[in-house]
């Protein structure tokens, strides 16, 4: 297969598309284009098969091109393309919410639909503030995020996020935000398998923040149960439990941003089940539709939802929503995705494959430049020592070598970050880590 003839790859022809999170000029000088995908593999414009060790962008959890999802979207588009979800609805949105509630921890039964992870986070933060206001505690407006956290690119998510280079260009963000420290220490945690033993005490920083700011001003704490884009940082053992306990002590809502850990990545439908801590609000997106249609969701506990349902019957309880909230195509994809996850037992495959994944990832310990390996579920990060004065350079070079060898990995700073589709086989796991081994050995 060759590049589609209608595709003009001249710089001029590529210029109209302003690409997200991309070095546009460098990309357009040397474009990397995918033209098809099936299962674990992309087909590049040059006709090469490339193993997708990123599941798209942490989203294609059931693998690419799942026929049932494609058919459901096609059928829905021909049947009901769009209807507003404001003061009207369509049956499939209610069905989708019911199916999703079937996956969530007990007592988390209410789904508010949005279109992305970023919208899910902004919505969750707004729900948290409004929840307290509904209950006569409108003074609770403060939001607590965490260093190295990623919560999408809306102003709300960016405000609670903790990756400096993402925030620096955009002027003042939300006021009344504080940040917990991140949980990573290479000195204490390097080459931990799964959740590190060291670091639970860092949750006590929430206690310190509460004391400085007056706990009764804090609306919510938001964390990714496993920091994803910040470099795959599994929570230290006991850390999330302590956060939960401090939130309970002060009436603070705990929000888990499960945009990555939702839909099976830790071997359970949501990461909170695998990690044994239940938040008050969960945000999700990505695997919700297996990446096939944009969709996000905020899953609220009964406690949160019920607080909104206590006012006058005829009043709109939450002044919030989007034109495409509960879009029929997204709902059809969401239901079909759950069908696929369940029928193909995909979350169980993740749980099964995780042991080999962990072993293979940690077999890189001792290879040149590898200074840490982190893993949990089907997530991993391989930390590569940078050359002095060239942060990220070696990791980028390693990622490029892998791509040339037919394996697509993500580079984030000095780390190679891996999150393959959950349908991965043992052979594909071996291939990913052998390719990385070859790449780091080839590095200068």
Ligand X SMILES: Cc1ncc(COP(=O)(O)O)c(C=O)c1O
Per CB under 6 A, residues contacting ligand X are: 116-118, 121, 150-152, 224, 228-229, 257, 259-260, 285
Which residue of the chain is nearest ligand X when measured via CB? 117
Toward ligand X, which CB reaches closer, 228 or 236?
A: 228
Q: Give the residue with the Cβ less far from ligand X, 145 or 196.
A: 145
Q: Which is nearer to ligand X, 295 or 307 (CB)?
A: 295
Closest distance of CB 266 from ligand X, Å: 13
CB of 379 to ligand X, least distance (A): 11
Query: How far apart are alpha carbons 356 and 265 in whole angstroms?
Result: 15
Tell me how far apart the alpha carbons of residues 394 and 402 are, in angstroms, rounded to a whole number: 12
In angstroms, the CA 332 to CA 56 distance is: 20
Burial degree of 317 (CB within 10 A; 0-12, 13-18, 19+): middle
Q: Which residue has the tokens 């050359």?
A: 387
Distance between CA atoms of 410 and 38, rounded to whole angstroms? 19
Both structure tokens of 393: 């350079």
Burial class (CB in 10 A: 0-12, 13-18, 19+), 282: buried
Nearer to ligand X, 166 or 394 (CB): 166
- We find the least distance from the C-beta atom of residue 153 to ligand X, in angstroms, to be 6
The DSSP string of 196-221 is -SS-GGGGGHHHHHHHHH-GGGEEEE
Nearest distance in Å: CB 257, ligand X: 4
Q: How many residues does the chain have?
A: 444
**What distances in angstroms separate CA 49 from CA 135, 301, 406, 434, one per listed residue?**
55, 43, 7, 17
Indicate the residue among 157 and 215 with the shorter CB distance to ligand X: 157
255 or 382: CB nearest ligand X: 255
The residue among 140, 80, 97, 143 whose CA lies nearest residue 328 is 80
- Closest to ligand X by CB, 191 or 239: 239
**Angle at 38 (CA atoms; ends 150, 417), nearest 5 degrees:** 30
Min dist. Cβ of residue 32 to ligand X (A): 19
Q: What does the block give as tokens for 152?
A: 């999408």
Is residue 143 within 8 Å of 219, Cβ to Cβ?
yes
Q: Are strands 379-384 and 370-376 parallel, antiparallel or unpaired?
A: antiparallel
- Write down the least CB distance from residue 259 to ligand X, Å: 4
Our CB check for ligand X shows the closer of 44 and 278 to be 278
Shortest distance (Å) from residue 118 CB to ligand X: 3
Please give the C-alpha separations between residue 338 and each of 71, 103, 256, 263, in angstroms, as whole numbers: 14, 9, 21, 9
**Shortest Cβ 227–ligand X spacing (Å):** 8
Between residues 189 and 419, which has the closer beta carbon with respect to ligand X? 419
Q: Which of 104, 133, 102, 391 is nearest to 256 (CA)?
A: 104
Strands of 34-38's sheet in order across? 34-38, 41-44, 49-52, 407-408
Give the residue with the Cβ less far from ligand X, 55 or 307: 55
Q: How far is the CB of 210 from ligand X (least distance, A)?
A: 24
Closer by beta carbon to ligand X, 257 or else 372: 257
How many CB atoms within 10 Å of residue 366?
A: 8
In DSSP terms, 415 is beta-bridged to 383, 412
């Amino acid at each position: 297969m060759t590049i589609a003839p209608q595709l003009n790859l001249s710089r001029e022809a590529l210029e109209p598309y302003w690409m997200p999170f991309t070095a546009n000029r460098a990309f357009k000088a040397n474009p990397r284009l995918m033209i098809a995908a099936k299962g674990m593999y992309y087909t590049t414009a040059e006709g090469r098969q490339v193993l997708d060790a990123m599941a798209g962008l942490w989203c294609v959890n059931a693998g690419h091109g799942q026929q049932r999802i494609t058919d459901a979207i096609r059928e829905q588009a021909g049947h009901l393309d769009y209807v507003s979800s404001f003061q009207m609805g369509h049956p499939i949105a209610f069905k989708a919410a019911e199916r999703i509630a079937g996956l969530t921890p007990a007592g988390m039964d209410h789904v508010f639909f949005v279109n992305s992870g970023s919208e899910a986070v902004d919505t969750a933060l707004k729900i948290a503030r409004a929840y307290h206001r509904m209950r006569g505690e409108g003074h609770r407006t403060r939001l607590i995020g965490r260093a190295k956290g990623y919560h999408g690119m809306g102003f709300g998510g960016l405000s609670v996020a903790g990756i400096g280079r993402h925030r620096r260009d955009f002027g003042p963000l939300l006021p009344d935000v504080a940040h917990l420290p991140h949980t990573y220490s290479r000195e204490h945690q390097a080459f931990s398998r799964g959740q590190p033993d060291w670091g639970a005490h860092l949750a006590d920083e929430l206690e310190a923040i509460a004391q400085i700011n007056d706990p009764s001003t804090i609306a919510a704490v938001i964390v990714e149960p496993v920091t994803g884009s910040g470099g795959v940082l599994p929570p230290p053992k006991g850390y999330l439990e302590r956060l939960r306990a401090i939130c309970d002590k002060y009436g603070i809502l705990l929000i888990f941003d499960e945009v990555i850990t939702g839909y099976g990545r830790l071997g359970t439908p949501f990461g909170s089940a695998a990690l044994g801590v239940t938040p008050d609000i969960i945000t999700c997106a990505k695997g919700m539709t297996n990446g096939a249609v944009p969709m996000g969701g905020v899953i609220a506990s009964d406690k949160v939802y019920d607080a909104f349902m206590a006012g006058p019957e005829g009043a709109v309880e939450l002044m919030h929503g989007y034109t495409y909230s509960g879009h029929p195509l997204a709902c059809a994809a969401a239901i079909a995705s759950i069908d696929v996850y369940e029928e193909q037992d995909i979350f169980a495959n993740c749980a099964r494959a995780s042991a080999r994944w962990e072993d293979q990832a940690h077999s890189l310990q001792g290879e040149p430049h590898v200074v840490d390996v982190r893993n949990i579920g089907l997530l991993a990060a391989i930390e590569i020592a940078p050359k002095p004065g060239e942060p990220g350079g070696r990791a980028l070079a390693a990622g490029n070598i892998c791509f040339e060898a037919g394996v697509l990995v993500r580079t984030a700073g000095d780390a190679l970050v891996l999150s393959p589709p959950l349908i991965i086989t043992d052979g594909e796991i071996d291939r990913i880590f052998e390719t990385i081994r070859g790449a780091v050995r080839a590095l200068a």
